[in-house]
Structure 1
Amino acid sequence: MPGLSETLSRLAAARANATQMPIPDSDRLADIASFGSDPGNLRARHYIPAGFKAVAPLVVVLHGCTQNAAGYDHGSGWSALADRHGFALLYPEQRPANNPNRCFNWFAADDITRDQGEALSIRQMIAHMISDYHIDPTRVFVNGLSAGGAMTMVMLATYPELFAGGAVIAGLPYGTATSVGAALQRMRGSGLPDAPALAELVRDAAPTPLRWPRLSVWHGTSDQTVAPDNMEAIIAQWAALQGLSVEAAQHDRVDQQARRRWIGPRGTVQIEAYSIAGLGHGTPIDPVGDGACGTAMPFMLPAEICSTRHIAGSWGIADTARAKAGPRRAAPPPPPRATARPVAQGGVAKVISDALRAAGLMR
């Protein structure tokens, strides 16, 4: 278990970084005025590309802490990819009233249970999109970063029958934390259950579907916010549900990055996992060259591999090649990182509660 001083230091650094994170002015998304009872009190945003045709796929995108929908779309390049391939996008957005750091509440029991809270709000948004835009109900996908990645696992576990596939970037397995203290420990990779227990958490979350959604998992090897052990736990959780051996992975490299794949009994890839060498906490993007994907900003990290494009390709709704080959130009300098401020005086209890709220782990 990490010591109190270490935990407070990390939370103070996260707080300093979060307060200085810019949110881009560019906004290609539109609001959905009404979509249901919205028990999770979430904002609903969406993007419909020009020339959109009925019976197209839908991609649900869940932003990370300190982000909003427009910022994540700008950084990840999802709407640019939708323009090219004609699928619709749904962006649930957290409200500061629910979580002061805009994190989805992946550790709150009332928000991660089927037909309750934030999980139900997102389910209602999807139903609205399917009805109003005649989405193909067999091609609904979900992905997210960090707390959005953890919430992606919530949606896959609580509504597995709804999704054809999901993708988790720097996220956590479903159901392993239902308190602030447990959330902190799981983020550090401590106290994660074994594979059978992880699978049981999902089996208890919803009726067993006819088939489990395909899963793509991405994690930086140098992530100091969500330990890479969580990636292995996600793989173990999803593999155990399907009777797949974690040791039976096929290994290769894509854009110079290590990839593992697990093949199901029908010869389809049920799980894939990318370990991005040297990457910290964020979404891997490739913002250079004529076929650029994404925009560098906090938690949107240049890695010479486009997770957005490869994820969509794994679902069969986009190609994985660059839009146009061209010379690679120098990557833009990384965004400045804020320096952690000294922990304020005022008592240990106040320091801890302030830090937890800043990190998005306390309402």
Structure 2
Amino acid sequence: MSGRSTRRFSSFTSSRGMRFAALLLTTAAGCGPLEAGAPEEQSAPSASDVAQVESELTQVTGFGTNPGNLLMYRHVPASMPASAPLVVVLHGCTQTAAAMENTGWTAAANVYKFYVVYAQQQSGNNSSSCFNWFEPGDIARGAGEALSLKQMVDAMKSAYSIDSTRVFITGFSGGGYMVPVMLATYPDVFSAGAVNAGGPYKCATSMNEAFTCMSPGIDKTPTAWGDLVRGAYSGYTGARPRVSIWHGTSDFTVKNSNATEAMEQWTNVHGIDQTADFTETVAGFPHKEYRNSAGTTLVETYDLTGMGHAVAIDPQYSFPGSTSVCGATGSYLSDVNLCASYYQAKFFGLTGGGGGTGDTTPPTVNLTAPANGATVSGSVTLTASASDAVGVTRVEFYVDGALAGSDSAAPYELAWSSTSVANGSHSLSAKAFDAAGNSATDADTSVTVSNSGTSTPVTVSFTSVAADDGYIKANSDGSLPALGTLTGLALGRGTDAKFNRSFLSFDTSGLPDGATITRAYLTVAYSSGSGDPWASPAGNTLVLDVKTGTFNAAATETADWGVAANASAVASIPKFTLGTTNSADFASAGLVAINKTGKTQLRLRFTQDQAATAYLFVQDGANAKLTVVYTP
């Protein structure tokens, strides 16, 4: 072990250091410490996952003095042109270089023809294999890990024909914090960078500060943040790198306040203000751009609503002109139907040439029905026409700016219930996406909702009554089940071979006695999970039962497992692995069972027992909502 490795390892041998190592592990892992009694979650990619992708990487040794003692891997696509770009990819804690291929960068490189360097930390330098983004000796120009990463770029330039003006860097979590290190210390090397679940440069310069930096975050003025970057390479007067910032709004490991601070830092570095010059929604997620006076986007942010600590992927998306898809599901990768590697490559300017289609032309889209100015009522079919030279992948429909649904095949249609909004004027729009990720919006339609002959519908949401919520583990052998004790509510089958059902209570006594309930649905939030309970056995479905009142007079009890409901399987809940989702609308029997004079209790269950260990945890309390639409 080198002297440097010995120094790094010994810094984690104290109890405080070991605690920090555990924290850094969860920083990349995307999950906090396990709740008591919870099935154990995967904390790293499986050996088969790593072996599957590692074949595309070649290790490079002797790439410089390597003072940071890092490992270097490269990916070189076939038939590379002269003066090709280079992207450096940095993993998170507990991860490897090979694991980061599942974020889609190798697939993108094969299509768009750019080189990729995957850097890898060694456990001898950091016991959780985190890049040392908080160590002063590793985040300064000409020293430590920062210099090692720069030497990897130099080695690639010596070996291949690389355009020095098109060198980029992206990273996740600990690697996400290391990206601004490289942009600040080597602005003469990197033209742009992408930060996934990271934070601003010099958010921490010690182990203690790193705790606070990750959560709850550190607040500085934009100028103070900018000064830290300017001080990293004093006297530098050249162009500064552009920055793309991606963060899940439900990231409780690295709080998303880090994204705001990073935006403030880099807008200040570029001499622009902190007010977005362009705002749109991409695949349902807010996207903001901060531009200079010439209209060039220098900083952009993606707020990944409901996503935790992870990299956004979309395995259903194929890179243009190929069968390669954007990433593969696995540890710390969230399938949110948004391909971060594609949009970051697009921000870098890599998608307009090379071996891909070079398509930068957005599709055409037109909301054809209902007509602008029309008066509508009841169920309304929203219809759009869309076309594109490469191909339209989906059309999203919006009502008053809120996503109502989407259709992925022509004719593009969506059934919308106008009773879900009040009578009066409402705006409708359609947004089309093509296979290259370009999008276009038609937002010039306004309709008047008039549900004549009935009173104006009223929508009300009830939050879960946490004291009455709970879950029951029913023994597979028929013996007495036991009550669950976790904050999250379990569904499926855990490692103890017991089957789980959960109960959510809502005080619906605020509904008028004479109200006619026309619609109801449940909103639940993902907490954690393991395996795929929907697919074990095949065709398994998550449904809910409704009880007028509660399944038992007291709080959740073991006998509730077998109590008859007033209405069974009134709605299903689609498969989801992060954020929140809505159930289908309740069947008529479920609407009748909603209690207007007291509590309404819902029992969530899978229709079939799991053939293997698989479970889902959902949140209760304020994170579970029953929405009821009624006419007085």
TM bin (shorter chain): 0.7 to 0.9
Change in 2 beyond 3 A, CA 1:20/1:70:
closer
Matched, 1:45 2:73: yes
Count of residue correspondences: 332
Change in 2 beyond 3 A, CA 1:21/1:47:
closer
Cα distance between partner residues in 1 of 2:131 and 2:139 = 10
Give the deviation of 1:180 after TM superposition.
1.3
Cα distance between partner residues in 2 of 1:263 and 1:36 = 37
Contact 2:318 2:326 in 1 (8 A): no
Q: Deviations over 1:302-356 (max 9, x none)?
A: 111100000001111115889876697x9997597999xxxxxxxxxxxxxxxxx
Alignment of 1:1-363 (within 5 A): 11=23, 14=32, 19-23=43-47, 24=49, 25-26=51-52, 27=54, 28-73=56-101, 75-207=102-234, 208-288=236-316, 292-318=325-351
For 1:210, the aligned partner's letter is G
Q: Deviations over 1:129-179 (max 9, x none)?
A: 112112100000001001111000100000011111110011011012111
Contact 1:239 1:245 in 2 (8 A): yes
Q: Deviations over 1:201-231 (max 9, x none)?
A: 1111013241111111000111111001000
Cα distance between partner residues in 1 of 2:184 and 2:277 = 22
Give the deviation of 1:53 after TM superposition.
1.8
| Secondary structure at the counterpart of residue 193 of structure 2 | strand
Partner of 2:453: none
Contact 1:143 1:168 in 2 (8 A): yes
Change in 2 beyond 3 A, CA 1:283/1:311:
same
Normalising by structure 1, we get a TM-score of 0.84
Change in 2 beyond 3 A, CA 1:332/1:126:
farther
Moved more, 203-212 or 315-324: 315-324
Q: Deviations over 1:11-36 (max 9, x none)?
A: 48647757554352121110112110
Cα distance between partner residues in 1 of 2:83 and 2:338 = 30
Change in 2 beyond 3 A, CA 1:191/1:267:
closer
User: What RMSD in Å do the two structures reach over aligned CA positions?
Assistant: 2.9
For 2:329, the aligned partner's letter is A
Change in 2 beyond 3 A, CA 1:137/1:337:
farther
Of Structure 1 and Structure 2, which has the larger fraction of its residues in helix?
Answer: 1
| Secondary structure at the counterpart of residue 161 of structure 1 | coil
For 1:94, the aligned partner's letter is Q
Q: Deviations over 1:172-191 (max 9, x none)?
A: 11012111111010101333
Cα distance between partner residues in 1 of 2:615 and 2:269 = 40
Cα distance between partner residues in 1 of 2:393 and 2:260 = 36
Cα distance between partner residues in 2 of 1:285 and 1:62 = 16
Change in 2 beyond 3 A, CA 1:48/1:337:
farther
Of Structure 1 and Structure 2, which has the larger fraction of its residues in strand?
Answer: 2
Cα distance between partner residues in 1 of 2:327 and 2:240 = 30
Partner of 2:363: none
| Secondary structure at the counterpart of residue 104 of structure 1 | coil
Contact 1:289 1:325 in 2 (8 A): no
Cα distance between partner residues in 1 of 2:97 and 2:200 = 23
Cα distance between partner residues in 1 of 2:161 and 2:214 = 38
| Secondary structure at the counterpart of residue 260 of structure 1 | strand
Contact 2:290 2:298 in 1 (8 A): yes
Cα distance between partner residues in 1 of 2:297 and 2:103 = 24
| Secondary structure at the counterpart of residue 273 of structure 1 | strand
Cα distance between partner residues in 1 of 2:100 and 2:391 = 23
Cα distance between partner residues in 1 of 2:283 and 2:114 = 25
For 1:239, the aligned partner's letter is T
Larger RCO, structure (CA 8 Å, separation 6 or more):
1
Normalising by structure 2, we get a TM-score of 0.49
Cα distance between partner residues in 1 of 2:121 and 2:303 = 28
Q: Deviations over 1:232-281 (max 9, x none)?
A: 00000001112211024321112221011011133211011000110000
Cα distance between partner residues in 2 of 1:277 and 1:94 = 30
Cα distance between partner residues in 2 of 1:324 and 1:39 = 48
Contact 1:171 1:231 in 2 (8 A): yes
Larger Rg: 2
Gaps of 5+ in 1: 340-363
